[in-house]
Amino acid sequence: MSVIDSIRSMLVPIRREGFPFIATLAFITLFFGWFWSPIFWVGLILTAWCTYFFRDPPRVTPVAPEIVVSPADGRVVAVAVGMAPRELGLGEQTRHRVSIFMSVFDCHVNRSPMAGDVRKIVYTPGKFINADLDKASEDNERNGLVIAGQHGEIGVIQIAGLVARRIVCLVKEGDALATGERIGLIRFGSRLDVYLPLGVNILVSEGQVAIAGETVLARFGEEPAERPVRID
């Protein structure tokens, strides 16, 4: 292996969606930093952070048809029971909802929680309140996906946050997804909600840190564990 190949293997890939932001910050840093050095150092830090924000590290996804993995990096802020948003068309029955909040320091590449076909994608305009709050699930701008797999349909909601202003969806209706496959990203702080049937065994708790494509959120085919349930 050459030196260049060794360096490339150590670098984390950057999403191309971030290139315009990184290039803009780098230009501003060099241009204004030429006239006033403090701007250069501040701009250099912001450019480095922006590059870090759009990182897309490889993940080792467990492969089993009965598991549901986390679609996002971040903190589990809610494990509750409630109805999925009506626009998804998942019916009136209640479901488990697992919500994961992504801070501006988390990786924002979203991944499919399970293998299946994308049955539906629905974009809903809305507000930009703090994605850490429960009401963000109903009030904020969001993009919903219905994924149909071996164990039925689940809902995955990309929710914009206080700073986020752009939801990017990388898949389309009819696509066949593998567990952990990239499905989108949200720019600058946001949240992911996953709606699962009540018969699934939830394996995470509020406050836990999840890793997209790796942390197992739930498992089908197991007797649900007894735990306190919050009703939305």
For strands 74-82 and 230-231, give the pairing: parallel
Residue in 6, 37, 190, 205 annotated catalytic? 190
Which residue from 172, 150, 144 is spatially nearest to 63, judged by alpha carbons? 150
Which residue from 192, 135, 194, 121 is spatially nearest to 159, judged by alpha carbons? 192
3-state secondary structure (DSSP) of residue 43 = helix
CA angle, 145 as apex, 150 and 198 as ends, to 5°? Answer: 55
3-state secondary structure (DSSP) of residue 79 = strand
3-state secondary structure (DSSP) of residue 81 = strand
H/E element, 1:
none
Asked about 99 being catalytic, the answer comes back as: no
Residue 193, beta-bridge partner list: 99, 157
- Name the DSSP class of 13: P
Residue numbers annotated as active site:
190
